[in-house]
Structure 1
């Protein structure tokens, strides 16, 4: 009886790993072999408003605001709006001196969704064609707003830029940068290759102004406003474009403590949307909305670093206790390795990458800590500090 029960559990774990790894492998291979679509440049220039929400981001917001103001898009066609939540008076004074619009907000429980809602209300008398959302540490690469403009002219009302690392001075920051590029490859490039929407990532995003206003209605206090917007877009069957190679530079996490705090917030949002949309996902699938079902499927997936750890532990287990499953388990491990390595840019294959991969055990411990704090993350706002780059 015990042996039979053990076999059932072993096969259940194997099926679980097969679903997780199979999903990543399919989209990773699709992202590797598909021809990247290029948006045709057009002459029409649309008006753009760049929103930069920030919570206690005094250390980085001035540099970000100045870079946004200096971006190479016609000055009469775009405006920078900084949404300041709990900034120091000296930072407010410095921002006031810049050619931008400043919206000060304060909440009992701060969220990006509420901050953006307040900013939209403050700008209601002067709507633009497009809205672009940056984080307080983001820097747009030259030409980014032109690429957004072209994608919009091509018919896309929701657009995700290619967010990539602006710092890799520590091995852990390099690992975090690799994780971001793997996610870009699988959940953006690979999904678009198979006719699905790019995943949103919280910043470097652009939307038709009127669409975004409607998407933010009753956004609530969720810490995963980008995921809520994803589900709302998927429900409307609105495709999200991916501006592959048009970069928004983002500060990566340089140490395990900040990594754990950030991932607590992300995991809390993932659990929230799994509970909220699991049943609806199946309803939408039967209605032919595979894009919505795909978004629900993503809430079931383990974080990549945890999947690597679980697969390694499983291999050790079958090596000693379930050798008949060793071959198929080894194939799964190989598929996972291929899926993840395909997402890392070729130019990053150097000794720094080896040092970054050595940080995986620390990242796993941080993820375990993050999982233990999911309950806390769902009840209160967890801030990820920026401006801690080590030079």
Structure 2
């Protein structure tokens, strides 16, 4: 019996150390994110030709409004709005063409964003584009977004991630999702950039050297997490991903638990896919001096934050009844440190909005959604789990 007790005690300590490392990683980059980045510049001597790409899957309403906004964007150089249409209605395609957007239709037995982008960009490779700007179907660029991106490329960057932020915070769940987006920006983009690492790609609001992106997509394969696959491929090439913290792309946030669960199912499936794929490769790359790749692989080991918060809360409770493993103060310290990490990562402007405190009541539902997502990841491998969108306008006083 003593042996069994010893094994249980060791297992709890292993869990404790693992969760401690999770909290330390998040806290380090959250603190780093408190420091400022240089202000983005928008002046340039040359203006590159930009392809603004909208990969679109069965979204017949919101794409029209998003394209209308993109076509009105002011840029001193040449840019073209291109819709990669997968499953759009013929009448939607006709409206988009009449508006002045270019249209490339794709037909796949199993749709992925990576395949759609690769096909479209291959069709456009003779159009002499210098930059590919990728937007989601619901995204709206802030004023002068393309000027800032062009200037960043003129400074020598090959990849740029803008600050994606909430378009709508009109429901409690949307507000909570907006907070989560900003925590991600703070820890995985701004915090990383402050210490000299690449920002993590987020799937949209990102710009690439056109030729380089096409070469990446030609080798991306079929995956539910194109942005994460690109992250690893870029890290392997030792190319830096710049982050423009003060240049915004507005993105619609999920409004209810069902959509949240569906979206997180795809995200968790992606994380598990790359954990299996790159866990050992990350350590091998570290010994080769590729800290960037190692850092990306470390991120796949992290417990999703909502789950981590719930798990640490449970560990605090169990410590009052369980004699095994770390003591009560250990678990309480981890839980409090994670709460503080999240608090300093949420933008200060949110604290003056009382909707934040109502939105916090949605955290238990979000935790339940994450648990359901964990048991549903097989669905993400069998189908393209697109997040449904509606036509939301941008709320004011965001910045």
User: Residue 322 of structure 1: CA displacement?
Assistant: 4.1
* In the alignment, structure 1 residue 361 sits paired with structure 2 residue 364: yes
User: Aligned pair 1:63/2:65, yes or no?
Assistant: yes
Q: Give me the whole-angstrom Cα distance separating, in 1, the residues matched to 2:334 and 2:73.
A: 45
- Deviations 1:97-136 (CA, angstroms, capped at 9, x unpaired): 0112100111100000011011112212112111100000
Q: Which residue number in structure 1 is paired with residue 24 of structure 2?
A: 22
- Tell me the residue number matched to 1:146: 147
Q: What residue is the counterpart of 2:388 in the other structure?
A: 385
Q: How does 1:202-221 map to 2 (within 5 A)?
A: 202-221=203-222
Match of 2:301 in 1: 300
Matches within 5 A, 1:273-284: 273-284=274-285
Instruction: Please name the residue that 1:50 is paired with.
Output: 52
CA deviation after TM superposition for structure 1 residue 44, in Å = 2.3
- Is the 2:307–2:370 contact (alpha carbons within 8 Å) kept by the matching residues of 1? yes
CA shift at 1:389, angstroms?
5.6
Q: Give the TM-score taking structure 1 as reference length.
A: 0.96
Contact 1:260 1:366 in 2 (8 A): yes
1:254·1:389 contact (CA, 8 Å) conserved in 2? no
**Post-superposition CA distance 1:327-371 (Å, at most 9, x none):** 222221222112111111111113211111110111111111111
- Report SS of the residue matched to 2:301: coil
8 Å CA contact 1:254, 1:388 repeated in 2 = no
Q: C-alpha separation between the residues in 1 aligned to 2:64 and 2:104? A: 15
Shift of 1:319: 2.7
Q: For 1:18-65, what per-residue CA distance to the aligned partner results, in whole angstroms no more than 9, with x for missing partners?
A: 011111000000111x22122343332211110001101112000000
SS at match of 1:321: coil
1:8 is aligned to 10
**Local SS of the residue matching 2:319:** helix
Indicate if the aligned counterparts of 1:49 and 1:131 stay in contact, CA closer than 8 A: yes
Q: Tell me, yes or no, if the aligned pair for 1:169 and 1:389 is still in contact at 8 Å.
A: no
The 8 Å contact of residues 86 and 105 in structure 2, kept in 1 or not, is answered as yes
Q: Tell me the equivalent position of 1:134.
A: 135
Q: Is the 8 A contact 1:159 1:242 kept in 2?
A: yes
The residue that corresponds to 1:119 in the other structure is 120
1:329 aligned partner: 331
Write the distance in 1 (CA, Å) between the matches of 2:371 and 2:12: 23
1:47-87 alpha-carbon deviations (Å, 9 max, x no partner): 1110001101112000000101111113x511110011001
- For structure 2, the 5+ residue unaligned runs are none
Cα offset, 1:142, TM superposition: 0.3
Does the residue aligned with 1:65 lie in a helix, a strand or coil? helix
Q: Distance in 1 between matches of 2:383 and 2:301?
A: 23
Give aligned pairs, total. Answer: 389
Matched residue of 1:299: which SS?
Answer: helix
Name the counterpart of 1:340.
342
Hey, what's the Cα distance between the residues in 1 that align with 2:25 and 2:39? 26
| Matched residue, 2:162 | 161
For residues 169-192 of structure 1, the C-alpha deviation after alignment (integer angstroms, 9 at most, x for no partner) is 100010111000000000000001
1:311 and 1:289 map into 2 onto residues whose CA distance is: 32
Q: Would the aligned equivalents of 2:65 and 2:391 in 1 still touch at CA under 8 Å?
A: no
1:39, 1:154 within 8 Å by CA — same for their partners in 2? no
2:287 corresponds to: 286
Higher mean Cα deviation, 174-183 or 146-155? 146-155
Whole-Å Cα distance in 2 between the matches of residues 279 and 172 of structure 1?
A: 37
* Aligned residue in 2 for 1:372: 375
- After the TM superposition, which residues 244-255 of structure 1 pair with which residues of structure 2 at under 5 Å, given as runs? 244-255=245-256
Distance 1:368 1:88 in 2: 36
Q: Report the secondary structure of 1:125's partner residue.
A: helix
What's the CA shift string for 1:157-205, capped at 9, x where partnerless? 0110000000111000101110000000000000011110000000000
The 3-state SS of whatever aligns with 1:269 is helix
In structure 1, how many angstroms separate the alpha carbons of the residues matched to 2:296 and 2:66? 31
Between 381-390 and 207-216, report the one with greater CA deviation: 381-390
- For residues 245 and 174 of structure 1, what CA distance do their matches in structure 2 show? 20
CA distance in 2, matches of 1:135, 1:371: 25
Runs of 4+ in 1 over 4 A off after TM superposition: 388-391
State the 1:5 CA deviation: 2.4
Matches of 2:72 and 2:385, distance apart in 1: 31
What TM-score do the two structures reach when normalised by structure 2? 0.94
